Chain A
Amino acid sequence: MSASAPNNEMGAVPGGSAVFAGHAWTFGRDVDTDLIIAARYLNMKTAEELAAHLMEDADPEFPQKVRPGDILVADENFGCGSSREHAPMAIKGAGIPVVIAKSFARIFYRNAFNTGLPILVAPEAVDGINEGDEVEVDLSTGRIRNLTSGATFEAEPLPSFMQELVAAGGLLPYLKGRGRG
């Protein structure tokens, strides 16, 4: 159902048989959006430009170390702080297909769905993944497999409204489909 998504150049809308596997980068709790992309780079607004500075204040080498397909895993309250959509843009720009966390801050949560960055709430998976583990994520079922340890986890299911947003290809195609209020 993501095949016709017109608003997601990254093609990262969850659905169908979207299975990703990659190495995990782990972070603690309260990763804020200033850490994800510092304000000094907010004079730019393309995913490519922003990705070059992803998580730079947490680890200056991170933009060089992270590889397309790698997965971010974080503790509680990921994405707290500012409303900058540049944060999910930078993550998508680095080729990261999914973020797994124990919980997400609310504006980041909205922004991820509105822009088509898949995110999964899976507290047990976060506790069961170490940095560098190879992790497989099936977005259609919410199943997370730690290929390094062999453990399997289930993410919390998406609310049906969020599934509709995802199926439409993001917020703006969804709103267009509804017609003007």
Chain B
Amino acid sequence: MPMTITEKILARAAGRDAVEPGDLIMARVDFCLGNDITAPVAIDEFEKAGFDSVFDPDRIALIPDHFTPNKDIKTAQLVKQMREFSARHGITHFYDVGRVGVEHALLPEMGLVGPGDVVIGADSHTCTYGALGAFATGVGSTDLAGAMATGQVWFRVPESLKFVFDGELSPWVTGKDLILYTIGNIGVDGALYMAMEFAGSAISGLSIDSRFSIANMAIEAGGKNGIIAADATTRAYVEGRFQREPVYVESDAGAEYVHTHDWRAADVPLMVAKPHLPSNTQPAADLTGTRIDQVVIGSCTNGRIEDLRMAAEVLRGQKVHRDVRCIVIPATQAIWKQAMNEGLFDVFLDAEAVVSAPTCGPCLGGHMGILAEGERAVATTNRNFVGRMGHPGSEVYLAGPYVAAASAVAGHIATPEQIGTRRAA
């Protein structure tokens, strides 16, 4: 029977020839991860359950990225617990300040996750790695504890939804706009428990960074995973980088989908998701009356080098509006160095934006850019729930890097065209 890419990867991990939606399976985990919020709880559960060793110290990443550099004594204690656990069990991939980056940018960059993998992470945006043709999904701390101990995790095999974007993208439109468009169309539980498979000529034409932005936000539609079959772009990214053997998988012809959305890429404008749900979308060009106080450019959704280049393209020769704080957060040390070497920091600093150390920080209202009551931010992040970036009376508008940078200059939501940015050749 024909299977989808998600079904094929899960069948292999369950040691079966075939699976179908609804099957409950125990799957082998190729890689698992936790962060400074979720790993300490997982460590507590691991120890309370009486496990004394991990299944494979090379296949676990413990990444203290959310409150890094430690924002207070309590978070310092959490990271200390991770550091000590990592030392005790010989965990290879524990990264502290100076080496750490935002987990879902860091792991692919280091080649720790790749095509054909089953990856679980105690972080909902673990679905990011689906951009490489992996099955990757977010779980809780107890699931992580179980995986660290046994290398296994239970899954209900998900039904699949297919999203086909064909044709050329409009100017300035990126992967972020495609995923906001998708979530706006199907709603925050439109893909509940399901796999979201993205395909079509517009997806094939996207860079790997733009694909990460798409897979990253599958969870914001309730999806179990987002996935894009590996192609030449993926191979070019993983070759010489991925530390294990890639397994290239694609959906069979005739595989079953609950629904297939066929969309023209050209119909997708620059998008913004208004408070307080990622599905509350509207074209950015319609929101020019919305004044803002802060812009955040970074996160596991849009903190990669392509995102920083896009922001710099708009900010070059401009000044951030006097009423706006603009915070740029390269997602990893490698991205930070590359941005610096490409001269992007000159652009940001000349524009009077600030460049932060890699951290999740403000995205989840952790630190490094918290909003006061009544303040409004445009952020390239992934969630705009009540209180997400600070005071419960503050607001977050989600957008891609072009709109975020243009809004920083304008002092209100704006597109690059609206502030007169000329397209680089």
A34-B388 contact given A83-B140, A84-B38, A172-B142, CB 8 Å threshold: yes
Q: Flag if B142 contacts A171 (CB, 8 Å).
A: yes
Q: Flag if A107 contacts B151 (CB, 8 Å).
A: no
A103-B189 contact given A38-B387, A43-B74, A181-B28, CB 8 Å threshold: yes
A175-B152 contact given A80-B222, A82-B364, A159-B24, CB 8 Å threshold: yes
Partner of B189, one of A6, A30, A181: A30
Q: How far is the CA of A96 from the CA of B364 in the complex (A)?
A: 26
Q: B147's closest neighbor in chain A, by CB? A: A175
Q: Flag if B55 contacts A114 (CB, 8 Å).
A: no
Does any Cβ of B come within 8 Å of A65's Cβ? no
Q: Flag if B386 contacts A35 (CB, 8 Å).
A: yes
Q: How far is the CA of A181 from the CA of B235 in the complex (A)?
A: 31
Partner of B146, one of A85, A105, A171: A171
Does any Cβ of B come within 8 Å of A67's Cβ? no
What's the least CB distance linking A27 to chain B, in Å? 12
Q: Flag if A83 contacts B193 (CB, 8 Å).
A: no
A86-B41 contact given A106-B192, A111-B140, CB 8 Å threshold: yes
Q: A104's closest neighbor in chain B, by CB? A: B192
Residues of A within 8 A of B193 (CB): 106
Chain A CB count within 10 A is highest, among B44, B140, B219, for B140
Residues of B within 8 A of A111 (CB): 139-143
Chain A CB count within 10 A is highest, among B24, B28, B37, B366, for B37
Residues of B within 8 A of A76 (CB): 189
Residues of B within 8 A of A35 (CB): 385-387
Residues of A within 8 A of B37 (CB): 39, 42, 84, 86
Partner of A30, one of B51, B146, B188: B188
Interface residues of A in 134-178 (CB under 8 A from B): 159, 161, 165, 170-173, 175-176, 178
A172-B45 contact given A83-B38, A106-B222, CB 8 Å threshold: yes
The interface bits of chain A over 32-51 (1 if a CB of B lies within 8 angstroms of the residue's CB, else 0) are: 10110011101111000000
Does any Cβ of B come within 8 Å of A2's Cβ? no
Does any Cβ of A come within 8 Å of B392's Cβ? yes
Does any Cβ of A come within 8 Å of B97's Cβ? no
A105-B142 contact given A34-B388, A83-B122, A83-B123, CB 8 Å threshold: no
Does any Cβ of B come within 8 Å of A57's Cβ? yes
Interface residues of A in 85-112 (CB under 8 A from B): 85-86, 89, 103, 105-107, 110-111
What's the least CB distance linking A6 to chain B, in Å? 8
Q: Flag if A114 contacts B152 (CB, 8 Å).
A: no
The interface bits of chain A over 1-24 (1 if a CB of B lies within 8 angstroms of the residue's CB, else 0) are: 000001100000000000000000
Q: How far is the CA of A39 from the CA of B40 in the complex (A)?
A: 15
The interface bits of chain B over 143-157 (1 if a CB of A lies within 8 angstroms of the residue's CB, else 0) are: 101100111101010
Q: Flag if A161 contacts B44 (CB, 8 Å).
A: no
A30-B277 contact given A80-B222, A107-B124, CB 8 Å threshold: yes
Partner of A181, one of B51, B71, B150, B188: B150
The interface bits of chain B over 16-48 (1 if a CB of A lies within 8 angstroms of the residue's CB, else 0) are: 000000001010100000000110110011101
Q: Flag if A81 contacts B124 (CB, 8 Å).
A: yes
A106-B224 contact given A77-B188, A85-B38, A173-B49, CB 8 Å threshold: yes
Q: Flag if A45 contacts B151 (CB, 8 Å).
A: no
Does any Cβ of A come within 8 Å of B397's Cβ? no
Residues of A within 8 A of B26 (CB): 178, 181
The interface bits of chain B over 109-147 (1 if a CB of A lies within 8 angstroms of the residue's CB, else 0) are: 000000000000111101000000000001111110110
Q: A109's closest neighbor in chain B, by CB? A: B193
Q: How far is the CA of A105 from the CA of B188 in the complex (A)?
A: 10
A176-B50 contact given A57-B392, A80-B222, A81-B383, CB 8 Å threshold: yes
Other A-B pairs beyond A110-B139, A172-B145, 9, CB < 8 Å: A34-B364, A39-B364, A45-B78, A76-B189, A77-B188, A81-B124, A107-B139, A165-B154, A176-B50
The 8 closest A-B pairs by CB, nearest first: A43-B74, A111-B140, A172-B49, A114-B142, A77-B189, A85-B140, A57-B392, A39-B364
Pick 14 A–B contacts, CB within 8 A, sort by A. A7-B49, A42-B37, A80-B189, A83-B141, A106-B222, A107-B124, A111-B139, A111-B140, A114-B140, A159-B24, A172-B146, A175-B149, A176-B50, A178-B26
